Amino acid sequence: MKVTPWEVEGNIDYDRLIKEFGVSPISEKIRSRLKDTHPLLRRGIYFSHRDFDKWLNNHDNKKNVSVITGRGPSEKMHLGHLVPFLVAKSLQDNFNCNVYIPISDDEKFYVKENLSFEDAIEYSRDNILDLIALGFKPKKTFIFEDFIYTKVYSYAGRIAKRITYSTAKAAFGLKNENNVGWSFYPAMQAAHILFPQFNEGKHISVVPVGIDQDPFIRLTRDIAMHKDFGFEKPAALHAKFIPSLYGDPKMSSSKEGSIFLSDSKKEVENKIKKYAFSGGGATINEHREKGGNPDIDVSYQYLKMFFEPDDNKLKKIYDDYKSGKLLTSEIKDILIEKINKFLEEHRKNKEKAKDKMKDFILKD
């Protein structure tokens, strides 16, 4: 098993990660406070945290709390990219808190040698529409791009002073041949995580994030305590990896292994039928006889994580698949229909988002 911000390999042992990273499991007590939230939160895909109990307590005690989760814009977003945003929206819906969404057009620009400045900006705009389409609340949701809302540079500068190149090099795997934008980016990322406090003053802000990204949270928690700032340590909610259609531990941006928000109905159908890793029997007869394994079946996992919010319906699918009553082709059909319904709705919302943009984008 290898889990760093750049590499995820092998069979992931999440209990071991909890120990190694020094984070806390999401307890039953916490989970009981998340009953009405998105499946990703209440079904254990988010499995560990830092100080999220404090965040919940502060909310209950009428103290200000917020959510911050950023996006390094890419050409097209896929389902896996939505994970932290679905959680952020759910926290906003359930706890009525502000959500901050920094768009790190600079990060992608620095890291991708051939990405032009103009394309970086264009991808940002496209991704922002995808995010607004999820239904965040205007006036409580603040989106900004590093290269447009450059005010963030002054916050990043204050943090940059407290991160040595050595520290950045170790935490971000910098090499001497990387460009200096990349060297600076650790400060920008920490500025994103602390942005809610720069903006609203000291309070606990939670970052929903893949567990592999936790080293950045830890770095930022240290910085938050520096006397220059006197901020609260940001809290974190850690997600397990979302499998690709092939069942790989982490969904990548490979064209076939992921469902893109721009995929047509036909593409979705083809991808699921052709690639979605099945936990079913080798033949129909074998499946009817021995049953399938929903725990490794990607279609079932996607229904559990994203597309079947009703616990009773999900349980029936689980039981029927396990018993062999529900075939692989049938569970795939259920998923295809659900995804296509979601994507159709999403594209309508994305179109509408164009007019709403001004309500979400931070301005000087």
Where along the sequence are the contacts to a second copy (CB under 8 A)?
106, 109-110, 116-117, 146-148, 150-154, 157-158, 160-166, 168-169, 174-184, 186-187, 228, 364
Smallest distance from the beta carbon of 114 to a second copy, in angstroms?
A: 11
Question: From the CB of residue 218, how many other CB atoms can be counted at a distance below 10 Å?
Answer: 16
Nearer to a second copy, 154 or 329 (CB): 154
Minimum distance from CB of 245 to a second copy (Å)? 34
Between 10 and 201, CB nearer to a second copy = 201
Q: Which is nearer to a second copy, 195 or 306 (CB)?
A: 195
* Closest separation in Å from C-beta 183 to a second copy: 4
Contacts with 24 (C-beta within 8 Å, 6 or more apart), sequence order: 18, 48, 49, 50, 53
- What 3-state class would DSSP assign to 55? helix
- CA separation, residue 106 to residues 118, 137, 138, 340, 343 (Å): 11, 26, 25, 33, 28
The contacts of residue 71 (CB under 8 Å, 6+ apart) are: 81, 85, 101, 102, 103, 104, 127, 131
**Residue 352 tokens, joined:** 């509408």
- Of 302, 292, 303, which is closest to residue 328 (Cα–Cα)? 292
Q: Please state the closest distance from residue 335 (CB atom) to a second copy, in A.
A: 41
| Residue 37 vs 127, nearer CB to a second copy | 127
- As measured in angstroms, the least distance from the Cβ of 184 to a second copy is 4
With tokens 């917020």, the residue in question is 66
Q: What's the min distance (Å) between Cβ of 175 and a second copy?
A: 8
SS3 13: coil
Rounded Cα distance, 7 and 359, in Å: 37
